[in-house]
A = this chain, B = another copy of it.
């Protein structure tokens, strides 16, 4: 079962799982502002069980969780700005629904294995680089606080009740099926949309260093974490061997696309106050525990992503 299964990472994971012969239930709310898109499962839709419902709906969750072997718990509110404008909704999805799912698992399916999608956002502005899992958590927005709590519920339920749960702290994920309509999921979505529409895109700041993981590598991390008992009760950074400034990323994207324009401008004030500066992860823990490492280069990842949207872009804007 995949919550957020019609979203960016969820749908890529669903595709991989059915290709491996898995029986997959995807659960998605299809809230228009979030990542869910039925087109994401086009071509393999008939090999899935699709259930449209919201993780906040505890009765549907209780019914759906029953009998599942694995729960890839990816549903979330991911927009930092939305979390500041409507903190209550962020709390409902990223805290309350998570607690409710864990209670359901504990009472109705205690042998399930859960992989929770957490985020680098909980670290806040790094004290040191690369950031490892021991780095203090100092979230800079409501979303970061609520994701931190959501992650902790998973670890607590593992520690206290022996529920087999782990959390992956994702960094920027790129690839086919991401939301490109707006910046709610990632700024890169908007950049790609602008490229497709032959409009210039904006780079805010530009010197910030970041790491990017290609979605197939994130999917692999989910599977490897799910298959291991060593991951229970643990949190793991994902990351990349490549670190790049946003300006260089913009340049690379234009190169890969073959054309395109962008302007570099100062951070808007409402983003500046929740910006974290440079970030990149130390992912040696997951490498040593389950032997995960990224396999797709940034350039290839961007090329695959642009190729996907050239063909399917109309379904995403």
Residues of A whose CB lies within 8 Å of any CB of B are 84, 87-88, 91, 95-96, 99-100, 103, 134, 136-137, 139-142, 145-146, 148-149, 152-153, 156, 159-160, 273-274
Q: Which residues of B contact A142 (CB under 8 A)?
A: 99, 153, 156
Asked, given contacts A95-B95, A149-B148, whether A156 binds B137 with beta carbons under 8 Å apart, the answer is: no
Q: Is the CB of B137 within 8 A of A145?
A: no
**Nearest-CB distance from A269 to chain B (Å)?**
11
Q: List 29 A-B contacts (CB under 8 A).
A: A84-B160, A87-B99, A87-B103, A87-B153, A88-B96, A88-B100, A91-B95, A91-B96, A95-B149, A96-B96, A134-B136, A136-B136, A136-B137, A137-B137, A139-B156, A140-B156, A140-B160, A141-B156, A141-B160, A142-B153, A142-B156, A145-B149, A145-B156, A146-B149, A148-B149, A148-B152, A149-B149, A160-B273, A160-B274
Leading 10 A-B pairs by shortest Cβ distance? A149-B149, A145-B152, A87-B99, A145-B149, A160-B273, A91-B96, A95-B95, A91-B99, A91-B95, A139-B152
Q: A88-B96, A141-B156 are in contact. List 10 more A-B contacts (CB 8 A).
A: A87-B99, A88-B99, A91-B95, A96-B96, A141-B160, A142-B153, A145-B152, A145-B153, A146-B149, A149-B149
A156 to B88 Cα, complex, angstroms? 15
Q: Which residues of B contact A139 (CB under 8 A)?
A: 152, 156
Q: Is the CB of A273 within 8 A of B159?
A: yes
A96 to B153 Cα, complex, angstroms? 16
A139 to B99 Cα, complex, angstroms? 15
Q: Is the CB of A140 within 8 A of B153?
A: no
Q: Which residues of B contact A87 (CB under 8 A)?
A: 99, 103, 153
Q: Which residues of B contact A273 (CB under 8 A)?
A: 159-160
**Nearest-CB distance from A134 to chain B (Å)?**
7
Q: Which residues of B contact A149 (CB under 8 A)?
A: 95, 145-146, 148-149
Q: Which residues of B contact A100 (CB under 8 A)?
A: 88
Q: Which residues of B contact A96 (CB under 8 A)?
A: 88, 91, 96
Identify which of A84, A103, A160, A274 gathers the most chain B CB atoms within 10 Å of its CB: A160
